[in-house]
Amino acid sequence: MKTVHDVTYELLRSRGLTTVFGNPWSNELPFLSNFPGDFRYILGLQEAVVVGMADGYAQATGQPALVNLHSAAGVGNAMGALVNASVAHSPLVITAGQQARAMMTLEAQLTNVDAPQLPRPLVKWSFEPPRPQDVPAALTRAIHLASLPPRGPVFVSVPFDDWTTPADDSSRFLAERSVTSSAPPAPALVTELARRLEQARNPVMVVGAEVDVPGAFEAAVQLAERCRMPAWIAPSPSRCPFPTTHRCFRGVLPFGIRPLAEKLAGHDLIVVFGAPVFRYHQFAPGPYLPEGAQLVAVTSDPAEAARAPMGEAIVADVALTLEALAAAMPSNLNSTRPLLAPRPRPKPALDSDVPLSAATVFDILDQVKPPGAVVVNESTANTGTFWKRVNFDRPRSFYFPAAGSLGFGVAATAGVQLAEPSRPVIAVIGDGSANYAITGLWTAARYHPPATFLILRNEEYGALKWFAGVLGVGNLPGLELGGIDYCALAAGYGVHAVRASSREELAAALKSAVDLEAPELIEVATKGQALD
């Protein structure tokens, strides 16, 4: 007779969910017992690291990732990382161990009281099965729901005595199930949007994270080329959905309402693909659209479509829509619109005084990183400088915490590198940010993803100083760091570390770290202010 444990591992195997990111205690041990040899367990030493790693892994593979947390305490610790995963539409299947059913009512130690309520509203679906025999069906549903658009994290709480319960015979159907979603846009919508793109005087394209997958990425380029229209990345980007080296690329849109509309002034048609409209941050009220502009957004997320404060929206598969639109554009359109000139490049940062400026660090990174390298960025004061100086030309090359919740950097880097063993992964992390998930270095040392962790040590929460200027507030406590030795921390967790001060030292350290078949941390002292 098969148990719930047997059937669950069979169905996880059939879905390719053989990597478990976790941190256990007694409630979780019965799930982990007799852990099969073809599964791997990636231990994170704190749950923010566990979920951050799984988030990076899921985004980089494009597949659901399995997480196992400890009851309420583990879910609580993971919550900040879960905010990122939720905004990133990361398909995380999060499980948490629950007390034995017989002791939940009396609220024994480690009972997760109202477990499904705890991770809401950050998950698409949250559930505790009413019977032990329902666990495999609940997990199957969770896996399918996480993967269906709009993708996102789901949560299942499992009482620990469920695992040894005999499974229902009917659960044998679960592993064979497939649930697919393909929502192409209605042909009439494509024809109409293609006509509007053709007739527009000056159209512009805005792309978001959903476009940063093979297929959609290339189709977006094709559409921009066919229409000879500039392409911007939607504000607060967590991914790089357009090649920054392409002549149509213009940059990242500002994250205030008024500045964004001002940036798009002069365009009569704004087409947005795979982004919310828009993920603003700075409160800078003003008109949502420039004078005379119309906006059409295409997204797979009905909630994103519904909550946009302006424009039209089409809910459909973004890649299929981009492909259909590119194919529908007349080939003679090129002759009627001027060829775009590539965006101007910033002057190389030539300063060599120490500490280096962020601009110099990013120039060196851009020169040294090999083709196909992936960058995980969590250097918050310098994002504008970063986007001007660091370039990407292929999908799944850039990750940033999608909700801005710090702790993503160290953790997601380990997850991305585990998912992409053949691509060099380089993390660019602020000295403040590094501390939110510093124990991720231990996981990197333990499982050996050969990632490079570049810590920008400016000894401050630089972004907060910058934002204080934006808000016009001063005399603030709590913005100065300092006295933290990142090389010593790395050594403590078992990661080899070096300190680089000059341009030459940094370039050499980056080159050798990227070549190394093991994780390495580089600490570089940087100026508090970016050069440009």
Ligand X SMILES: Cc1ncc(C[n+]2csc(CCOP(=O)(O)OP(=O)(O)O)c2C)c(N)n1
Select from 109-117, 228-236, 362-370, 374-382 the region that touches ligand X (CB under 6 A): 374-382
Q: How far is the CB of 441 from Mg ion (least distance, A)?
A: 18
* Among residues 88, 205, 269, 463, the one that binds ligand X under rule CB under 6 A: 463
Q: How far is the CB of 372 from Mg ion (least distance, A)?
A: 28
d(CA 419, CA 396): 11
Q: Which residues touch 125 (CB under 8 Å, ≥6 apart)?
A: 141, 142, 145, 154, 155
Which is nearer to Mg ion, 63 or 435 (by Cβ)? 435
d(CA 450, CA 420): 10
String marking each residue 462-481 x if it binds Mg ion according to CB under 5 A? x-------------------
* Among residues 269, 381, 419, 425, the one that binds ligand X under rule CB under 6 A: 381
Give the SS3 label for residue 141.
Answer: helix
- Angle separating helix axes 4-14 and 135-147, nearest 10 degrees: 20
Which is nearer to ligand X, 154 or 361 (by Cβ)? 361
Q: How far is the CB of 513 from ligand X (least distance, A)?
A: 20
d(CA 419, CA 442): 18
String marking each residue 33-72 x if it binds ligand X according to CB under 6 A? ----------------------------------------
Q: Which residue is nearest to ligand X (CB)?
A: 430
How many other CB atoms are found less than 10 A from the CB of residue 147?
20
Select from 230-238, 299-307, 335-343, 457-465 the region that touches ligand X (CB under 6 A): 457-465
Please choose, from the candidates 232, 236, 235, 234, the residue with its C-alpha nearest in 3D space to the C-alpha of residue 246: 232
Is 380 one of the binding residues for ligand X (CB under 6 A)?
A: yes
Which is nearer to Mg ion, 300 or 458 (by Cβ)? 458
Which is nearer to ligand X, 236 or 397 (by Cβ)? 236
Which is nearer to Mg ion, 268 or 459 (by Cβ)? 459
d(CA 464, CA 528): 11
d(CA 46, CA 108): 23
Phi, psi of 186, rounded to the nearest 5 degrees: -60, 135
* Among residues 150, 259, 346, 404, the one that binds ligand X under rule CB under 6 A: 404
Is 409 one of the binding residues for Mg ion (CB under 5 A)?
A: no
Q: How far is the CB of 46 from Mg ion (least distance, A)?
A: 21
Is 235 one of the binding residues for ligand X (CB under 6 A)?
A: no
Report residue 400 as tokens. Answer: 């940033």
Q: How far is the CB of 368 from Mg ion (least distance, A)?
A: 22
Is 462 one of the binding residues for ligand X (CB under 6 A)?
A: yes
HSE-up (13 A, CA, CB side) for residue 370: 12
How many other CB atoms are found less than 10 A from the CB of residue 45?
17
* Among residues 377, 379, 385, 443, the one that binds ligand X under rule CB under 6 A: 379
d(CA 43, CA 416): 15
- DSSP letters, 294-349, are EEEEEES-HHHHHH-SSSEEEES-HHHHHHHHHHHS-GGGGGGSPPPPPPPPPPP-
Is 382 one of the binding residues for ligand X (CB under 6 A)?
A: yes
Q: Residue 382 binds which one of Mg ion, ligand X, none, with CB within 5 to 8 A depending on kind?
A: ligand X
Give the SS3 label for residue 375.
Answer: strand
Binding-residue total with ligand X (CB under 6 A): 19
Select from 19-27, 240-248, 291-299, 461-469 the region that touches ligand X (CB under 6 A): 461-469
Please choose, from the candidates 263, 395, 382, 389, the residue with its C-alpha nearest in 3D space to the C-alpha of residue 322: 395
Query: What is the binding site for ligand X (CB under 6 A)?
Result: 80, 379-382, 404-406, 430-433, 436, 458, 460-464
